Structure 1
Amino acid sequence: MNRSTIFNTLILLPVIWLFSGLLVVGDGDKPMVALVVISAITSISYYGLQTTRDNLRHNRVLWVVLALTAYGLFSHFYHGISSREIRALLMASVMLICFPRELISQRLLSWLCLMGGISCFYMAYYYGQYLDIGRGAWPINAIPQATMSAAIGLIALSLSCNKNASHKTIAVLAFVISTAAVLFSQSRGVWLGYFVTVALMIILHFRSLLLTKKSCLVALLLLIMGGFALKPVVEARIDETQYEVNQIMSGNFTTSAGLRLQMWAIVPQLVEDNWLLGLGRYHREKFNELYQQGQASETLKQQNPAHYHNQFLDRLVKSGMVGVALLLALLSVPLIGLSRASHQHRYMLSSIVLLYATASLTDVPFSHPQPLLLYIFLVSCLTTSSRKH
């Protein structure tokens, strides 16, 4: 092993962990701190400060992440914000400042997707099916876990357009495994965003796909076999959804979907006096006031919501309009100049942004360190590299 390989491996340590340990370990963001520090020191030692200067000068996603980090630190001292989210933003900032983007080749990204897909599948199958543990008791909550599985699946689907046969095979396999992980998660909101995005990618860009007939047949066969194997899981979730809709129509808002509607309904009352900077950790006190006034139900009070199952509304409550504006920037900045990117980068960037935006309608993927770090890494690397194509 030569000197260059050793240094590059050390630099890639947090990336490898991002697609492996971070997807299966509940507190996987904690050991990543040490890996990011090792990576940053190694990168500066080996490549000098030129990479840092280039990243600060050209990486638009990094600018948004730095703004989010600065506002997060302000919010933390002003009215409180999750320490895990702050830690994730600080790690992302350091990593994006020092990381040499050219290390992420399509070949490496394909292997990372395969590793990530296997990790996600292990988590969803082992805890959800083998141990039959409730989704809320998984080491990583099933909804952010499904979001990460879906993100890896979309990147893998885009990479399956590769002309290289071996890279294509790895990407197709990663897509199939990640799709199975998404289904095992039983996360309906992620299902919707994922399969709509997959359908759009296939319909809109079918002529651009470079899959061979053999690869198409293999992927179709694997999906059909997986569909039969996962049929009981999907059918049970569909039946549950129909039941919840019927309950809401009859006036019962105590189901999972009904409680979400209740949370969304009280947001205007929560932010009426704190719309600019939000409430931070004091949102619980405001919620209790509304409960005492009869504006929140007893069932919702018993749930004691830590967040409001909608990223935009949750960010409005806790960080105000400033937080919402920064969130929208994180979603929109990667799309700037997309028309000048290669077809493959266009598919990857737009699909990841669409997935996270859709997932944000029913969950808070940007408030969990794992999906936040995965999103930032993917869009940052893809945005900076798309200008080179």
Structure 2
Amino acid sequence: MTRSRSAAEPQGFLHWMLPAMLGLVAITVLLSGRDLSQMFKDLAVGGGMYLHPAVAWLQRGVSLLLVLVAAERLVNHFAMHKQLPSPLLVWTFIGYWLATVAGPAFFGSHPQLSHEYLYTLLIGLAGALAAGADRDRVVDAARNALFLFLLAGAALAVVNPAMVIDTTYNQGLFAGVPRFGGLATHPVALGMFAQTFLLCLWARPFGRRWLTALAWILGLATLFFAQSKTSWIAFIVCSLAMLAVRHGGNVWRRMGDPREGEFGIVACLAVIVLAAGALALVLFADVGSEAAGFLDTTEGAQLMSMTGRDQIWVIALEEWRANQLFGYGPGLWDDAFRASIHLPNATNAHNQFMDTLARSGSIGAAALVVYSAVLLVLALRYAKQTGGLSIALLVSVALRSISEVPLLMFGYGTELFTHLLLLITLASAAAERVHAPVAAVRRTNYRVAS
């Protein structure tokens, strides 16, 4: 019997999307000739990273590539009358784009239209139409691209350290340790890339053990020296989620198995030790004095003001009140707006909900809540099927949403990377479930015919 092509088989060029986006970031930084230590001083006075003239043409080329890849997937899907992997995911994504991008672009306090806003719609829809076997190809491609990205950054630390290392950084937990930015636009972005790389590596290790071990060392070292506390916390929580999905059931079964008495005793003792340690810290450490002393420091003052985010949020709320339905519009936090509020570092609201509320109004904020809820439901539904990757990626996006804007949809950029990977992971898992019953029926009919 001739096997027909199904939507579960890998097709098209969807796996080139994430490497293309990452390559654009890397080349932009390479051609900038930046001094990472000086870049933050320039940003504080209203400047920014130098963009080489070639970057504009490179960006056009990458945009064309992404549009062609997305168009191929969309045309192929609908021309062959295939089922949507997850209608809920597709229609919720479209609604989210309409509410957070199209609405404010037309009806915001400062309407602004650009063809770039359509890119995220096309790219996201292509990701939401991922077939079952696309997940492995996409995760492998993202893993390989991120490995080369991190490796190139590490090499530049030796060849051109000024480009990738901020030697003036003094706000980390470890005094005197410089901050590593690699080929990312910011060390915080590098932390996100390193964290995503480790999750992809966990889900899809390299074929050679020595290469996998080297990749883990590179990823963990990059994550550490990027000194992004949000990424550290996110990676720990994501790791716990992956472990819970992959081994949680076995742990509970072993603890309840009378034949595994030693395992249950060890697990209980570990919990007791952790609880006793936390209790001892509260009872015998002078927590109050330590906390008071910390709040008197520069770092403590920054923490109490959320590193200046309280000022940004006040401004965001003012812009929302000016147009509560559709918000300010796409141009919020651009160069002109930041200059007008005298906050050159405020490139976004540093919180996904506050940023969406200010840019896209109450309609956009409501769509964000609905979209996030759908992502959560689907990530939990397909957690076991994806080996924990779906829930880990969702946790990563959720935790990053506290201080950044990973669900921003105005053009593709650094923030879209993990978001798109999550969409593809969910859609491919949904596609496997959609076509599994069809494949079972075909096998049954084939046996009957035989």
TM-score (norm 1): 0.67
Q: 1:36 aligns with which of 58, 66, 69?
A: 66
1:56-67 equivalences in 2 (<5 Å)? 58-67=86-95
CA–CA separation in structure 2 for the residues paired with 1:169 and 1:340: 34
CA contact 2:327–2:359 (8 Å) conserved in 1: yes
Structure 2 residue 86 is the aligned partner of structure 1 residue 86: no
Deviation larger for 313-322 or 264-273: 264-273
Aligned to 1:356: 397
Q: Which ranges of structure 2 fall in alignment gaps of 5 or more residues?
A: 29-54, 167-179, 251-292, 434-450
Q: 2:203 aligns with which of 158, 168, 179?
A: 158
1:370-381 equivalences in 2 (<5 Å)? 370-381=413-424
CA–CA separation in structure 1 for the residues paired with 2:304 and 2:142: 35
CA–CA separation in structure 2 for the residues paired with 1:386 and 1:167: 26
Structure 2 residue 249 is the aligned partner of structure 1 residue 247: no
Aligned to 2:140: 111
CA–CA separation in structure 1 for the residues paired with 2:295 and 2:151: 29
Structure 2 residue 225 is the aligned partner of structure 1 residue 195: no
Structure 2 residue 97 is the aligned partner of structure 1 residue 69: yes
Q: 2:412 aligns with which of 369, 375, 378?
A: 369
How many Å apart are 1:351 and its aligned residue? 0.9
Residues 41-78 of structure 1, C-alpha deviation per residue, up to 9 Å, x if partnerless? Answer: 54577677126x423x7343332332233331232233
> Is the radius of gyration larger for structure 1 or structure 2?
2
CA–CA separation in structure 2 for the residues paired with 1:76 and 1:142: 30
Matched to 1:384, the amino acid is A
* Count of aligned positions: 333
CA contact 2:356–2:365 (8 Å) conserved in 1: yes
1:264-279 equivalences in 2 (<5 Å)? 264-279=313-328
CA–CA separation in structure 2 for the residues paired with 1:174 and 1:346: 20
CA contact 2:11–2:134 (8 Å) conserved in 1: no
Residues 313-357 of structure 1, C-alpha deviation per residue, up to 9 Å, x if partnerless? Answer: 111111122222233334332332555536252611111111111
How many Å apart are 1:38 and its aligned residue? 3.0
CA–CA separation in structure 1 for the residues paired with 2:312 and 2:392: 28
Structure 2 residue 212 is the aligned partner of structure 1 residue 181: no
CA–CA separation in structure 2 for the residues paired with 1:81 and 1:174: 43
CA–CA separation in structure 2 for the residues paired with 1:171 and 1:329: 38
Root-mean-square deviation (Å): 4.3
CA–CA separation in structure 2 for the residues paired with 1:374 and 1:59: 22
CA–CA separation in structure 1 for the residues paired with 2:297 and 2:244: 33
Aligned to 2:46: none
CA contact 2:17–2:69 (8 Å) conserved in 1: no
CA–CA separation in structure 2 for the residues paired with 1:21 and 1:35: 12
Matched to 2:192, the amino acid is T
Aligned to 1:50: 80
The SS at the match of 2:327 is coil
CA contact 1:114–1:173 (8 Å) conserved in 2: no
Structure 2 residue 64 is the aligned partner of structure 1 residue 15: no
Q: More helix by proportion, 1 or 2?
A: 1
Structure showing greater relative contact order (alpha-carbon pairs closer than 8 Å, 6 or more residues apart):
2
TM-score (norm 2): 0.59
CA contact 1:65–1:330 (8 Å) conserved in 2: yes
Q: 2:309 aligns with which of 260, 263, 275?
A: 260
The SS at the match of 2:308 is helix
Q: 1:309 aligns with which of 350, 353, 372?
A: 350
CA–CA separation in structure 1 for the residues paired with 2:222 and 2:318: 38
Identity over aligned pairs, percent: 17
CA–CA separation in structure 2 for the residues paired with 1:340 and 1:282: 36
Matched to 1:34, the amino acid is L
CA distance 1:131–1:159, shift in 2 (3 Å): same
Matched to 2:328, the amino acid is L
